[in-house]
Each structure stands twice: as C-alpha cells, then as structure tokens.
C-alpha cells in the first residue's frame, strides 16, 4: 500500500508537465538562433537584438536567444532565409518582406511601385486587415508571425548625377535585392539593375562596379554610403519594406503557453521600438537625419508631387503586371485601406 501511495504521489507531480500544450523548460534548447540581414547599429539589428534581450527578460531566462546578423546562418544569401526558417535551420527571424517574397508572392505587395505614399499608409496595411490576412497566410507556412517592424521607405542614391526624372536613371547601374519585381521596376525606368546581396553591394559601390543603390535612409547613414561615392540622394519613397518578427512553428510549439505569450509580448515591444528608431529624423516634424546627410556633402533631392507622378506613370505597367500575380483582391484591399488612412 505504501508503494502504491508513493507511486500515485509521483504521478500527481509529473502529470501537470505532461498535459497537452504544456512544455517542460528542461527540454528547451540551451540557445535559439535569431537571423537578421543587418546588425547593429542599423535599426533592423537593434530591433533583433532588443527582441532577444526582452525574450530572456520576459521568460525569466528560460529562453535564451542569440542573434546572427548578416544572414550568416544561410551564408549571407538573404533570399534563402525564409526557407531555412521553415526547415528549422533558423529558430527565429526578423525578416524582410522583400527577401521573403520569392517564397511568399503576396509579400510583393509592399514592393509595388508607389503604392504607399507615407507612413500612415504603411500603418494602414500592417496594422489593419491586410496585415492580419498576411499573418494568417504566413501561419500556414511553418512559421508563427508575431509583430510588424519596419526597414523603411527605400530612397535612391548614386555617384553620377541627381535623379529628378525617369530619364535621369537611364543607363545607371543600380544594385537591387534578389526580387524580380525590383528588376522589372528599374528596367522600366531605364536603369541597369544589378542583383546582389548587401554584403557584396558595399564593395561594389566602393569600386564603382555599380553606380547606385536604393535603401532606407537609416541604412544609408549607418552604412556610411556617402564615403562610397553616393553623393546624389533622391527622396522618392517608391516602396517601403516592413519587417516581420517570426518564430519557427515547431520551436513555438515546444514552448509553454506562458513562454509563447512572453515571446509575443517581447516581439510587439521590440517591433514598436524598432519602428520608432527607423522613422527618427526623417519626418516633417524632425528632419535631423536629412540635415546630417546633407552635411556630409550629399545633394538631397526631394521630388515634388508632379515629379513623382512621372515616375508613377513610368512604372504603371509594372504595378499592373505584379498586381495580378500578387492577387487583385489583396491589392484592392490594400488600396482601400490606404485611401481610408488619407
């Protein structure tokens, strides 16, 4: 009888840990791998690092995350990051909608030329029905999306001349990411798009192998692009690049409900902080970053609405072509959300 009672007592202690949906922290990995394209001091890397820090804090140290910038977990090929995340090579990521769009065509939405005129438009998409729909889609692809971050509007620079009209782009070698949509857009404008990773782009700019690039202003400054010959910068806001904080689905399922909610809360907080950093100094209320860029000898061109319309007209065929591939209903929902925000 004593042996029976002892056995029942032991079973009672063990049973809670065996309930469905309750993970045992003892089974957690000693360290989880978080992938980003950019590290600190870029806002992207700051956001990833902050997420890792908050996860450890909010889980009481049960989950420890190490950030691997430069997409080093996939040998620097940022277009392979999402596949590696699905396969479990990567546990967590703060990823770019652009880099993941080859595997998730709907994410090309954010790269439609001149879809989003301002930050209100980005927020209308990511924080509204469109963002929810995209998260539901991603949830079917072996990942758990938790929060939207932001790399920012991609502005264009080059070493040759100011860009004020589509004709000014003709013949310029412009580095672009590995997305067919970007290739189509630059080709429509008469440029010579050259696809390469960001790791390869910086030496290519330095040697003059390419003339220019397009990236958010925070990247322009942190990467010290004025020192790589990028003396002509045009603010045209032709596309924006939201970031997504995600966890591999199997990794997510291995955590307790308590820790899942802690990781989610950490993602939401880190994303909000990262967005604030990415927008700092580039608004009408605070243009300090733009002034810093100009002080480095860079000619900054701000397109007028009329000038921007010329670029829109030149890329309209690209917009229409890709809207069909992305999904007309999704694009229409995005246009409606943006119109409502204005």
What DSSP string describes 1-37? -HHHHHHHHHHHHHHHHHSTT---GGGS-S-EEEE-S
Question: Do residues 168 and 269 share a domain?
Answer: no
Range from 54-63, 210-219, 283-292, 296-305 carrying the lowest mean pLDDT:
283-292
Tokens encoding 140: 């079917």
Question: Do residues 206 and 265 share a domain?
Answer: no
Question: Do residues 186 and 168 share a domain?
Answer: yes
Let me know if residue 298 belongs to a domain: yes
Backbone angles phi, psi at 247, to 5 degrees: -130, 140
Confidence of residue 53 (pLDDT cuts 50, 70, 90): very high
- Boundary residue ending a domain (279, 297, 331): 279
Domain residues for the domain of 231 are: 155-239+287-341
Question: Do residues 85 and 98 share a domain?
Answer: yes
Which CATH number characterizes residue 72's domain? 3.40.190.170
Question: What pTM does this model have?
Answer: 0.90
- What's the pLDDT at 285? 85
Let me know if residue 301 belongs to a domain: yes
Question: Do residues 218 and 249 share a domain?
Answer: no
Question: Do residues 163 and 251 share a domain?
Answer: no
Distance CA 206, CA 224 (A): 11
Helix (H), strand (E) counts: the chain:
15, 11
For residues 210 and 194, the answer to whether their CB atoms sit within 8 Å is yes
Question: Do residues 100 and 63 share a domain?
Answer: yes
For residues 69 and 37, the answer to whether their CB atoms sit within 8 Å is yes
Let me know if residue 5 belongs to a domain: no
Confidence of residue 10 (pLDDT cuts 50, 70, 90): very low
Distance CA 130, CA 110 (A): 11
Question: Do residues 61 and 209 share a domain?
Answer: no
Residue-wise pLDDT tens digits, 88-141: 999 999 999 999 999 999 999 999 999 999 999 999 999 999 999 999 999 999
| % pLDDT > 90, the chain | 87
Q: Report CA dihedral (274, 66, 200, 122) to the nearest 10 degrees.
A: -20
Confidence of residue 22 (pLDDT cuts 50, 70, 90): very low
Residue with tokens 């996939």: 74
Omega of the bond leading into 11 within 30 degrees of 0 (cis): no
Distance CA 110, CA 219 (A): 18
How confident is the prediction for the chain on average, in pLDDT? Answer: 92
Question: Do residues 42 and 184 share a domain?
Answer: no
Q: How far is CA 123 from CA 14, 152, 202, 258, 342, in A?
A: 46, 12, 30, 29, 11
Q: How far is CA 271 from CA 56, 77, 135, 213, 255, in A?
A: 16, 24, 15, 26, 21
Tokens encoding 89: 């090579």
CB atoms within 10 A of CB 284: 5
Sorted by sequence, the CB contacts under 8 Å of residue 69 that are 6+ apart come out as 36, 37, 38, 39, 40, 45, 48
Question: Do residues 69 and 127 share a domain?
Answer: yes
For residues 246 and 103, the answer to whether their CB atoms sit within 8 Å is no
Let me know if residue 39 belongs to a domain: yes
What is the full DSSP assignment across 260-326?
HHHHHHHHHHHHHHHHHHHHTT-SSS--HHHHHHHTTT-EEEE--HHHHHHHHHHTHHHHHHHHHHH
Question: Do residues 246 and 127 share a domain?
Answer: yes
Let me know if residue 19 belongs to a domain: no
Let me know if residue 214 belongs to a domain: yes
Distance CA 309, CA 181 (A): 19
Let me know if residue 16 belongs to a domain: no
Let me know if residue 297 belongs to a domain: yes
Residue-wise pLDDT tens digits, 61-76: 999 999 999 999 999 8
Confidence of residue 178 (pLDDT cuts 50, 70, 90): confident
Count of the separate structural domains present in the chain: 2
Question: Do residues 261 and 304 share a domain?
Answer: no
């Amino acid at each position: 009888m004593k042996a029976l009672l002892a056995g029942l007592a032991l079973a009672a202690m063990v049973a809670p840990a065996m309930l469905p949906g309750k993970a045992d922290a003892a089974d957690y990995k000693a360290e989880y791998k978080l992938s980003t394209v950019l590290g600190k001091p870029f806002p992207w890397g700051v956001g990833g690092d902050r997420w890792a820090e908050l996860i450890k804090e909010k889980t009481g140290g049960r989950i420890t995350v190490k950030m691997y910038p430069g997409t080093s977990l996939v040998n620097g090929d940022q277009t392979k990051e999402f596949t590696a995340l699905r396969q479990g090579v990567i546990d967590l990521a703060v990823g770019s909608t652009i880099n993941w769009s080859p595997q998730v065509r709907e994410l090309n939405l954010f790269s439609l030329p001149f879809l989003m005129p301002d930050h209100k438009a980005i927020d209308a998409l990511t924080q509204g029905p469109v963002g929810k729909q995209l998260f539901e889609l991603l949830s079917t692809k072996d990942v758990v999306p938790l929060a939207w971050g932001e790399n920012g509007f991609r502005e264009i620079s080059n070493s040759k001349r100011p860009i004020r009209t589509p004709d000014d782009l003709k013949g310029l070698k412009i580095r672009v990411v590995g997305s067919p949509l970007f290739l189509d857009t630059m080709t429509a404008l008469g440029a010579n798009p050259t696809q390469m990773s960001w790791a390869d782009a910086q030496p290519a700019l330095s040697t003059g192998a390419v003339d220019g690039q397009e990236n958010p202003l925070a990247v322009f400054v942190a990467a010290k692009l004025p020192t790589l010959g990028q003396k002509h910068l045009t603010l045209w806001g032709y596309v924006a690049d939201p970031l997504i904080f995600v966890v591999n689905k199997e990794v997510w399922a291995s955590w307790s409900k308590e820790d899942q909610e802690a990781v989610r809360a950490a993602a939401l907080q880190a994303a909000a902080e990262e967005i604030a950093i990415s927008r700092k100094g580039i608004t009408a209320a605070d243009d300090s970053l733009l002034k810093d860029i100009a002080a480095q000898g860079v000619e900054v061109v701000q397109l007028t609405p009329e000038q921007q319309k010329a670029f829109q007209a030149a890329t309209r065929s690209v917009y229409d072509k890709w809207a069909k591939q992305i999904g007309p209903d999704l694009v229409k929902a995005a246009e409606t959300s943006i119109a409502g925000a204005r």
